[in-house]
Chain A
Amino acid sequence: MDPVHPEPSLPSALCRGRRACLGALLALAVLPIGRLSGPTPGRRPRWWARVLPLPTHLRGGHPLAG
């Protein structure tokens, strides 16, 4: 008697696994995650900076946008 839910044969299970792997790789290549994220999560940043006195001349010609 045939089972209602037959067990997959080994080759077809391997094939499914390979398809899943390829899908995951393709998703990683296409999705921008990682390419446009900031620093690696959990990375310890360098955050102690040297503190300077405020310049006396604050006007004129700075290249920063905004």
Chain B
Amino acid sequence: MPGDVTCLLCPRRCRIPPGAAGDCRVRVNLDGRLLAVTYGRPVAVHVDPMEKKPLFHFLPGAEIFSLATVGCNLHCIHCQNWEISQADPGEHDVYDLPPDRVAAVAAHEGCRAVAWTYTEPIVFYEYTYDGSVACRERGLKTVLVSAGYANPRPWRRLCGVIDAAILDLKAFSDAHYREVCGGTLAPVLEAIRIAHEEGVWIEVLNLLVPTRNDDPALVDALVDWMLTTLGPDVPLHFTAFHPDYRLKNLPPTPTRTLLAARKRALGAGLHHVYVGNVPGGEAECTWCPACHARLVHRVGYRVLENRLAATGGRCPECGAQVAGVWA
């Protein structure tokens, strides 16, 4: 129809009539111009531990200024932040925080990094991009917490201003993406590959949902793809599902499922595999891939000891270099 605009940001390629929004709810056709109406208007602003993202090989123990606007281009039926990810921009009160103020407030709070997180930073792309530029100008690191459901061109451009990313690979199954998330797998794999290629420090997250994506064959396929495409040094986090939103009929992921997945991934050759949402235990700690010494001791979101900060990432026991950004 005349006056429609097509958003090229994500694989949905929404064709948006005048006055209406795309699938993400926040990208609007206003008088023939595509406008991200949540620009500079976050709905959630917090100072979190880096481990909550969860990034384990990027400035362990640092505080990170974390923010999000409403909106998402996926619609996972188990979304833990659905109140804001699946909301219209007008449904929640917001803060006035333009990009330069994000950097100023983050620095004032003593944070070393800023995270675009909680919902999906792709849908507030312009805010994420401009905010990341402003943060870098102040010497702050920039972090993306994303499902990577983006088109290659804008994604690659965004990677140019991002230091680290935790990328949510929901399952190594296109059917899972279609049935549970309302998306597709291939664009996510390509986004993860591009981020790695562009030099962003990445860690991959896989939330295991009982009966949905906890089949050991799916875990094996995911791990094989990571080893082949990204190499053994990219950390993988298995996290536990909790019943939420429209998927309350399933039980939480048993700890034994997470630990079994970790064992398979380590056995296949990944160097760093973690288990999240289950505090305590060796699966939260970083171990030297060469001599198996404990290098970062974590309990929950707390870092009790970091032996890599002073050595630039070298194991103090055997001298092996451990991949990551440690100080």
Instruction: Report which A residues bind B (CB closer than 8 A).
Output: 31-32, 35-39, 41-55, 58-59, 62, 64-66
Q: Which residues of B contact A36 (CB under 8 A)?
A: 75, 77, 178-182
The residue on A at minimum CB distance from B101 is A54
State whether A52 and B95 are in contact (beta carbons under 8 Å apart), knowing that A45-B25, A58-B46, A62-B46 are contacts in the complex: yes
- Tell me, in angstroms, the Cα distance from A64 to B178 when the chains sit together: 25
Interface string of B96-117 (1 = CB under 8 A from A): 1100000001000100000001
The residue on A at minimum CB distance from B77 is A36
Tell me if A64 and B90 are in contact (CB < 8 A). Answer: no
* B220 close to chain A: CB less than 8 A: no
Interface string of B246-283 (1 = CB under 8 A from A): 00000000000000000000000000000000000000
Tell me if B21 and A39 are in contact (CB < 8 A). Answer: yes
CB distance from A45 to the nearest CB of B (A): 4
Q: Which residues of A contact B323 (CB under 8 A)?
A: none
CB distance from A15 to the nearest CB of B (A): 31
What are 10 inter-chain pairs, A to B, with CB distance below 8 A?
Answer: A36-B75, A38-B25, A38-B75, A45-B20, A45-B21, A45-B88, A54-B97, A64-B46, A66-B53, A66-B118
Interface residues of B in 190-249 (CB under 8 A from A): none
* B295 close to chain A: CB less than 8 A: no
- Tell me, in angstroms, the Cα distance from A27 to B288 when the chains sit together: 51
Tell me if A64 and B81 are in contact (CB < 8 A). Answer: yes
- Tell me, in angstroms, the Cα distance from A64 to B67 when the chains sit together: 11
Name the one of B19, B20, B41, B84 contacting A41, with C-beta atoms under 8 angstroms: B20
Name the one of B25, B38, B109, B118 contacting A58, with C-beta atoms under 8 angstroms: B109
* B89 close to chain A: CB less than 8 A: yes
Q: Which residues of B contact A66 (CB under 8 A)?
A: 52-53, 66, 81, 117-118, 145, 166
* B303 close to chain A: CB less than 8 A: no
Q: Which residues of B contact A31 (CB under 8 A)?
A: 178
* B325 close to chain A: CB less than 8 A: no
Q: Is chain B's interface secondary structure helix, strand, loop, or mixed overall?
A: loop
- Tell me, in angstroms, the Cα distance from A45 to B86 when the chains sit together: 12
Tell me if A65 and B80 are in contact (CB < 8 A). Answer: yes
Tell me if B46 and A46 are in contact (CB < 8 A). Answer: no
State whether A43 and B21 are in contact (beta carbons under 8 Å apart), knowing that A53-B95, A62-B46 are contacts in the complex: yes
- Tell me, in angstroms, the Cα distance from A36 to B65 when the chains sit together: 31
Interface string of B138-176 (1 = CB under 8 A from A): 000000010000000000000000000010000000000
Interface residues of B in 67-91 (CB under 8 A from A): 68, 73, 75, 77, 80-81, 84, 86, 88-91
The interface centre, meaning the residue of A45, A46, A59 with most chain B CB atoms within 10 A of its CB, is A45
The residue on B at minimum CB distance from A55 is B45
Name the one of B14, B20, B68 contacting A44, with C-beta atoms under 8 angstroms: B20
Tell me if B26 and A59 are in contact (CB < 8 A). Answer: no
Interface residues of B in 1-28 (CB under 8 A from A): 14-17, 19-26, 28
Interface residues of B in 106-134 (CB under 8 A from A): 109, 117-118
Q: Which residues of A contact B52 (CB under 8 A)?
A: 66
- Tell me, in angstroms, the Cα distance from A45 to B123 when the chains sit together: 15
- Tell me, in angstroms, the Cα distance from A54 to B118 when the chains sit together: 17
